[in-house]
Copies of this chain bind each other. A is one copy, B any other.
């Protein structure tokens, strides 16, 4: 295969950086390992990003932009929730988990928190959560009086909490347990 340049090369490098990050973690990611995985060499990386941190930041940003999770529409609240949570778990789980690690130093320096960053990132965007809940109310699956903001975000909160605590993919049974024994009993 030929020698890649510009955009294609850059994409391959950031892809490799993300893979290293999610498989081996930030501490075990080396600039060399990223270069090797991308089938190139270190100087190519340093021509684009001034240091390891910026490289990883770029990889994280790219991934986040690419992997937005669209809320599922299966026809039932339970189906929507399980499908969406499962997709989040698969696509974004490792992302969120690693992110909190990466940003550790950043939070300490800026006195900000994960919640604030998330708020800024999600600003203006109508959350998939509201969409799912809205449809469920129309179908009469939810008693709107019971759907406080905290309860509406509960399944997502619990998935994130589980992912962050274990730093591993959450088992499908756990997702079902959250939906069936905690969330659904609270809203109908």
List chain A positions with a Cβ less than 8 A from chain B.
25-28, 100-102, 104-105, 107-109, 111, 113-115, 118, 148, 150-151, 154, 157-158, 160-161, 164-168, 177-178, 181-182, 185-186
Q: Known contacts being A113-B168, A164-B114, A182-B186, is A25 close to B101, with CB within 8 Å?
A: no
21 inter-chain pairs at a CB distance below 8 angstroms, sorted by A residue, are A25-B105, A26-B108, A27-B108, A27-B109, A28-B108, A100-B100, A100-B104, A101-B108, A102-B104, A107-B167, A113-B165, A115-B167, A148-B177, A148-B181, A150-B182, A151-B182, A157-B158, A157-B161, A161-B161, A164-B164, A185-B185
Which residues of chain B are within 8 angstroms of A160 by Cβ–Cβ distance? 161
Q: Are B165 and A114 touching (Cβ within 8 A)?
A: yes
By beta carbon, the residue of chain B nearest A177 is B150
- Copies of this chain, tallied across the complex: 2
User: How far, in whole Å, are A104 and B167 apart by their CA atoms in the complex?
Assistant: 11
By beta carbon, the residue of chain B nearest A97 is B113
User: How far, in whole Å, are A166 and B117 apart by their CA atoms in the complex?
Assistant: 10
Which residues of chain B are within 8 angstroms of A182 by Cβ–Cβ distance? 150-151, 154, 186
By beta carbon, the residue of chain B nearest A26 is B108
